[in-house]
A and B are shown apart, each in its own frame.
Chain A
Amino acid sequence: MFPPLPNPTVKPTPAQFGEQDLIRRSASNVAPPARQLTPVAKLIDTSKCIGCKACQAACLEWNDLREKVGFNSGVLDNPLDLTPASLTVMRFSEWINPETQNLEWLIRKDGCMHCADPGCLKACPAPGAIVQYSNGIVDFDHDRCIGCGYCIKGCPFNIPRISQVDHKAYKCTLCSDRVAVGQGPACAKACPTQAIVFGTKEEMKQHAEGRIKDLKSRGFKNAGLYDPPGVGGTHVMYVLHHADKPEIYANLARDPRISPIVELWKGVTKYAGLAAMGGFAAFGFLHYLISGPNKVSEEDEKKAEQLTGSDVS
Chain B
Amino acid sequence: MTAYDVERGDAIHPGKPVTVDRYTGGARINHWITATSLVLLALSGLALFHPSLFFLTGLFGGGQWTRTIHPWIGVVLFFSFTGLFIRFWRANLWKAEDGTWLARLKDVLTGHEERLPEVGKYNAGQKAVFWGMSLLILILIASGFVIWDQYFAAYSTIDQKRIAVLIHAIAAVTIICVWIVHVYAAIWVRGTISAMTRGRVTGGWAWRHHRKWLRELVGGKERRS
Residues on A facing B (Cβ under 8 Å): 27-28, 125-127, 144-150, 152-153, 158, 162, 164, 167, 259, 261-262, 264-265, 269-270, 272-274, 276-277, 280-281, 284, 287-288, 291, 293-305, 307-310, 313
B205 — nearest CB in chain A belongs to which residue? Answer: A296
Chain B residues proximal to chain A, CB less than 8 Å: 12, 14-18, 47-51, 54, 57, 62-64, 66-68, 109-111, 113, 147, 149-150, 153, 158-159, 161-163, 165-166, 169-170, 173-174, 176-177, 180-181, 184, 187-191, 202-208, 214-215, 218
Chain B contacts for A149, CB-based, 8 A:
147, 149, 153, 161
Given the known interface contacts A153-B162, A304-B17, the answer about A291 and B111 at a Cβ–Cβ threshold of 8 Å is: yes
Nearest CB in chain B: distance from A75 CB, A:
20
Selected from B12, B47, B170, the residue in CB contact (under 8 A) with A308 is B12
Q: Which residue of B lies closest to A261 (CB)?
A: B162
Q: Would A269 and B170 count as touching, CB distance under 8 A?
A: yes
Contacts of B215 in A (CB 8 A): 307
Prevailing SS type, chain A contact patch: helix
Q: What residues of A have a CB within 8 angstroms of the CB of B14 in the complex?
A: 305, 308-310, 313
Q: Bound complex: CA of A300 vs CA of B203, how far in Å? A: 8
Task: Please indicate the chain B residues that have their CB under 8 angstroms from the CB of A310 in the complex.
Answer: 14-16, 18, 203
Q: Is the CB of A291 within 8 A of B109?
A: yes
Check B17 against A265 for contact (C-beta < 8 Å). no
Would you list the 5 A-B pairs with minimal beta carbon distance, nearest first? A304-B203, A146-B63, A301-B204, A300-B204, A149-B149
- Tell me, in angstroms, the Cα distance from A270 to B50 when the chains sit together: 7
Most A CB atoms within 10 A — which of B15, B62, B169, B173?
B173
Complex formed: what's the CA distance from A167 to B205 in Å? 53
Structural contact, B51 and A125, CB atoms closer than 8 A? yes
A277 touches B173 (CB 8 A): yes
Q: How far in angstroms is the closest Cβ of chain A from B27?
A: 22
List, in ascending order, chain B residues with CB within 8 A of A280's CB.
177, 180-181
Tell me, rounded to whole Å, the shortest Cβ–Cβ distance linking A40 to chain B.
Answer: 28
Q: Please measure, in the bound complex, the distance between the C-alpha atom of A126 and the C-alpha atom of B12, giving whole angstroms.
A: 54
Contacts of B202 in A (CB 8 A): 296, 301, 304
Which partner residue on chain B sits nearest A308 by CB separation? B14
> Are A127's CB and B170's CB within 8 A?
no
Partner among B18, B63, B159 whose Cβ is within 8 Å of the Cβ of A126: B63
> Are A273 and B111 closer than 8 Å at their CB atoms?
no
Q: A125-B48, A287-B188, A307-B215 are in contact. Are A167 and B161 (CB under 8 A)?
A: no
Flag if A148 contacts B18 (CB, 8 Å). Answer: no
Contact between B204 and A294, CB atoms less than 8 A apart: no
How many Å lie between the Cα of A27 and that of B177 in the bound state?
24
Q: How far apart are the CA atoms of A148 and B163 in the complex, in Å?
A: 16
**Contacting residues, chain B, for A261 (C-beta < 8 A):** 159, 162-163, 166
- Rounded to whole Å, the gap between the CB of B33 and the closest CB of chain A is 23
Which B residues lie within 8 Å of A265 (CB)? 162, 165-166, 169
Partner of A167, one of B64, B174, B191, B207: B64
Shortest beta-carbon distance, B108 to chain A, in Å?
Answer: 9
